[in-house]
Amino acid sequence: MKILLIHSDYIEYEPKERTKFAEDCDVNRIRVDECLVSFISVERGDSEVVDRAVEEIEDVARKLNVDKIVVYPYAHLSSNLADPDTAVLILKEIEKKLKNNFYVQRAPFGWYKSFKISCKGHPLSELSRSIVVEESDVTQALKVEEEVVSYWFILTPKGELVDVDSFDFTGYEKLVKFVRYEMEKRRAVDRVPPHVELMRRLEIADYEPASDSGHLRYYPKGRLIKSLLEEFVTLKCLEYGAMEVETPIMYDRNHSTLRRYLERFPARQYIIKGDKRDFFLRFAACFGQFLIAHDSVITYKNLPLKIYELTRYSFRKEQRGELVGLRRLRAFTMPDMHTIVRDIEQAKQEFLNQFKLAVEVLSEIGLNPDDYEVAIRVTREFYKEHRDFIHSLARILDKPILIEMWDQRFFYFVLKFEFNFVDALDKASALSTVQIDVENAERYDISYVDEKGEKKRPLILHCSLSGAIERCMYALLEKAYMQAEKGILPMFPVWLSPTQVRIIPVSERYLDRVIEVAEDLKGRKIRVDVDDRDETLGKKVRDASREWIPYIAVMGEEEVKGGFLTVTVRAESTLKQQKKVRMSLDELAERIVKECEGKPFKPLPLPMLLSQRPSFR
């Protein structure tokens, strides 16, 4: 907001010609004597600085010992003007607040006016003020989150709500770790989690020193895994009935609607300077999808209406101490679906459907209910009104779940579930989530037409069936590490394994035949490579095992003559003993195709011959 303050003997103005934005005005000429004239340009985002503007104007008026103030709209002080409707509202609010202590005359907005003014000419008679929104990446929701009082309970499958201090956690070691993590809110890590070493050793991803913290580089294997997960979750959303869209990654920071929502989300923001405006990088697809919904004609026949986008990338300026590997990033890929529903009953049905679908999606990714803990976050009022519905969620997975309850609603949702993975360092990270949003339909002016032709406000569900794609990769790596600690060979699901079959010739003279077999498998949409390096057979087998390759096939004279492969099956092997079986080429192919049924496929991300591959470490 730009303000020019003139201590005046008098100001006299007359509305002459109205613009299309003009307020109604029935006066011809106004004169105010012995006053402070405040010429004001209302800029984008100024709704947050009204109180500071009033304080500045009042402070100057008191110093000048005047009791009359003229509020005069004056667009010529700025090139970053707010829209007319917002400007009028802000000027009216300034007028209202000043009237508590002064006589106030406000000149009409949107008129070409003639005016005469007499400036007193002393050192304080001409002053200017520039009042800006304080720069901060900390939203109001984050501040609230630090102060909110939470009440913690465990909800059992039998429907018992037990205070956490009274619950018997015997047999629920992961749950007690999760509860402790949530209640202590210690997000920072004090040592490197195991998945970081694994993502590097397996040549999946690494830190990018030339970028900001929390931005990673992905090598061919990592890009393959990531893209397969992206495609899989996207297909699940589309099969569920979502319509895929694409929206911008940056938005006007001072857009009145977006800024109000920005302040309601507990995330720090990346702010970037434009030529004339400031922008923020999105932290989810909410902004773009809500703006699409605002501009759409929606009727009751369209509901529930589902909109989906895979946001590559979303951005949150997480604190440095919390950034580690794939677990918590500043740039991440979020599958983001929003469902517009007519009322709370339809919202509950969709919430339940998406809860079950999230269980299915994580299971097919390789994360079963035993791998994560469930949290329900809810207002006390909503819990009381919908107790049976919330209790039914605990029965679905037949395991106790954590309930965080609030006396008041501090955020835009009244109910939320999260599936949280607990890693080797006892840190928890949210995967799937669904939230029932009761604010943003009003904020974004989203409506639908009901059976009577009347406009109604819907509710909105926010859903990420898997959580961030990178966090799924983190969870798979951490799970593999913890399994190895128990003597189980670590591996990815076969459909996510960069190499599904590695064929190793016993000697060079069998290489041509091995390549023929590999080409056959490749034609059946199987990712196969060949270890043609000048290394011993034992080293080749060990290297393949260190890469978590699910099927390692050896071909020598016996195999060539017998028309079979000697295959080490990783899923059936242990750290102490390998499971080797003889398989025909068809048997091996059929087994892999069956394991990958219904999953997306992408070809091998590296040259088929290992001798032709670079090392990314």
Predicted confidence at residue 256, as pLDDT, reads: 74
CATH number, domain containing residue 116:
3.50.80.10
Statement to judge: residues 180 and 51 lie in one domain? no
Q: Are strands 271-273 and 278-281 parallel, antiparallel or unpaired?
A: antiparallel
Given 130, 162, 192, the domain boundary residue is 130
* Residue 137 lies inside a defined structural domain of this protein: no
The beta-carbon contacts of 388-393 under 8 Å, at least 24 apart in sequence, are 389/348, 389/352, 390/155, 390/415, 391/155, 391/159, 392/352, 393/352, 393/355, 393/417
Q: Are residues 92 and 184 in the same domain?
A: no
Q: ∠ CA(330), CA(332), CA(337), 5° rounding?
A: 130
Asked whether residue 206 is domain-assigned, the answer is yes
pLDDT single digits (tens) 130-149:
887 655 555 555 556 666 78
- Shared domain for 96 and 160, answered yes or no, is no
Same domain, 25 and 174: no
Handedness of CA 214, 314, 43, 103 (dihedral sign): negative
Identify whether 507 is part of a domain.
yes
Q: Which of 111-120, 247-256, 262-271, 553-562 has the lowest mean pLDDT?
A: 262-271
Assess whether 333 and 459 both reside in one domain. yes
Local structure of residue 611 (DSSP, 8 states)? G
Q: What is the three-class DSSP state of 234?
A: helix
Task: Assess if residue 143 is contained within a domain.
Answer: no
Among candidates 3, 33, 2, 17, which has minimal Cα distance to 108? Answer: 17
Query: Do 461 and 504 reside in the same domain of the chain?
Result: no
Kindly write down the DSSP assignment for every residue of 292-358, as one continuous string.
Answer: HHHTS--BGGG-SEEEEEEEEEEE----GGG-BTTTB-SEEEEEEEEEEESSHHHHHHHHHHHHHHH
Q: Which of 135, 139, 409 is nearest to 267 (CA)?
A: 139
442 versus 134: the higher-pLDDT residue is 442
Query: What residues contact residue 313 under an 8 Å CB cut-off, 6+ apart?
Result: 249, 331, 332, 333
- DSSP-derived 3-state class of residue 430: strand
pLDDT in tens, 454-507: 999 999 999 999 999 999 999 999 999 999 999 899 999 999 999 999 999 999
Flag whether 305 is in a domain. Answer: yes
> 314 and 171 in one domain?
yes
Residue 261 lies in a domain: yes
Contacts of 148 (CB under 8 A, 6+ apart): 406, 410
70 and 28, same structural domain? yes
- Whole-structure pTM value: 0.79
Q: Is residue 484 part of a domain?
A: no
Q: Of 101, 130, 159, which marks where a domain is finished?
A: 130
Q: Which domain holds residue 9?
A: 2-130
Copy the structure tokens of residue 112.
Answer: 């070409």
Same domain, 103 and 157: no
pLDDT-wise least confident of 75-79, 131-135, 326-330, 539-543 = 131-135
Domain identity same for 332 and 440: yes
CATH number at residue 557: 3.40.50.800
**In a shared domain, residues 503 and 594:** yes
Domains contained in the chain, number: 3
Q: Does 379 lie in the same domain as 313? A: yes
Q: Where are the beta strands (DSSP E) in 81-219?
A: 103-106, 111-119, 126-130, 151-155, 161-163, 205-207, 216-218
CB 304 within 8 Å of CB 346: yes
Does 487 map to a domain? no
- Nearest of 417, 236, 246, 242 to residue 340 by alpha carbon: 242
**Token pair listed for 524:** 């059946």
Pairing of strands 448-449, 151-155: unpaired
Question: β-strand 305-315 against 278-281: which pairing, if any?
Answer: unpaired
Measured in residues, the chain has a length of 617
Domain CATH number, residue 360: 3.30.930.10
Per-residue pLDDT tens digits for 261-308: 776 665 678 888 888 788 889 989 999 999 999 999 999 999 999 999
